[in-house]
Amino acid sequence: MPNIDHTKKIVEISDVSFSYGKEEVLKDISLEIHQGDYLGLVGPNGAGKTTLLKIMLGLLPPKKGDIKLFGTDLKKFKKWSDIGYVPQKATNFDVNFPATVKEVVLMGRYGKKGLFRRTDGRDEIIAKKALQEVGMKEYENRLIGDLSGGQQQRVFIARAIAGEPKIIFLDEPTSGVDSKTQDEFYALIKKLNAELNLTLVLISHDIEKITKEAMHIACVDKTLVYHETPEKFLESVHAKEFVGENAKFTTHHHS
Ligand code: ADP
């Protein structure tokens, strides 16, 4: 069982608001994420989950409020190699690019080494270990474009862990994922949390699943509606409000 160390604050969000133009998308969000936690970020479509993730990653500046990463103000934060990110779809990566699985995972080392430094034997060992971790070792010489969506996602997780981060932000893959692939994805990231003691933040579209998996649930709907253990969240009126009949948010996705 992974341990949460409440003395180590990995992310501190204080009173953050954000708007795209005039439309306020996030309002007065305060949230702390501690070392070893596995936080499921849930909420309806368009609730601001991705926006909040981008703010935590420093990709969008908050309009109001403060963010600290590892105790350092986001504006001064430099150790980006401590932070891993696995997007839902690898939009910034053309899977038709003729790169092998191993090459893709080695890209995860650049954050540690600087973009123009050559990778060496140690990087190869770390990349192979990461592939082992996600169960994709035997695919290392295959082209990334030849793999299934679920397998590509595993490779992107391997790329993130090859950077030896302390926290990983993930966006749950949704499109074209069958329930077996989804189960494997959840089993893998639970293992990363338990065995590598990696702090995880996962945007999930499946309340039923994430409440069985995560250690805490943060429910966002412009404001932070709820931040509690899955058990308490499920008992709350908020879960009932959102869950509706079929216990999922998976009815209509926007891209
Ligand atoms: P979620 O991830 O919970 O589905 P998002 O953070 O993607 O929600 O979006 C929150 C709101 O902000 C939505 O109304 C969405 O349409 C809007 N939005 C998202 N990205 C942009 C953007 N780049 N420009 C303008 N509006 C945006």
What is the tens place of the pLDDT at every residue in 191-228? 999 998 999 999 998 888 999 999 999 999 999 999 99
**Ligand 1-lining residues (CB < 6 angstroms):** 20, 25, 43, 45-51
Q: Which two tokens stand for residue 28?
A: 């007065």
Residue 253 is assigned to a structural domain of this protein: no
Cα(22) to centroid of ligand 1, in Å? Answer: 13
Angle CA 201–237–187, to nearest 5: 30
Pairwise CA distance, residues 235 & 239, whole Å: 7
Average pLDDT score over residue span 129-152 = 93
Could you give the C-alpha distances from 79 to 26, 119, 221, in angstroms and in order? 26, 19, 30
Determine, yes or no, domain membership for 164: yes
Distance 26 CA to ligand 1 centre (A): 10
CB of 4 closer than 8 Å to CB of 34: yes
How far is residue 165's CA from residue 80's CA, in Å, rounded to a whole number?
A: 9
Nearest to 32 by CA among 60, 76, 70: 70
- Exposure string of 13-41, with b = 16+ CB inside 10 Å and e = fewer, is beebbbeeeeeebbbebebebbbbbbbbb
Query: Could you report the per-residue pLDDT of 105-133, keeping only the tens digit for each?
Result: 999 998 777 666 788 899 999 999 999 99
- Residue 173 belongs to what domain range? 5-243
Mutate to test the pocket of ligand 1, among 51, 63, 89, 251 (most ligand atoms within 8 A of CB): 51
More confident residue, 95 or 222: 222
Query: If you measure from the C-alpha of residue 99 to the centroid of ligand 1, how many angstroms do you get, rounded to a whole number?
Result: 32
CATH number, domain with residue 49: 3.40.50.300
More confident residue, 238 or 204: 204
Residue 165 has pLDDT above 70, yes or no: yes
Per-residue pLDDT band for 189 (boundaries 50, 70, 90) equals: very high
Distance 25 CA to ligand 1 centre (A): 7
**Residue 254 counted as domain residue:** no
Residue 250 lies in a domain: no
Residues linked to residue 203 through DSSP beta bridges, in sequence order = 41, 171
The strand pairing partners of 33, in sequence order, are 11
The answer as to whether 210 is a domain residue is: yes
Q: What is the pTM of this model?
A: 0.89
- The confidence band for 254, taking pLDDT boundaries of 50, 70 and 90, is very low
Pocket-testing residue among 50, 210, 221, ligand 1, by greatest number of atoms within 8 A of Cβ: 50
Distances (CA, A) of 71 to 68, 78, 85: 5, 12, 19
Domains identified in the chain, total number = 1
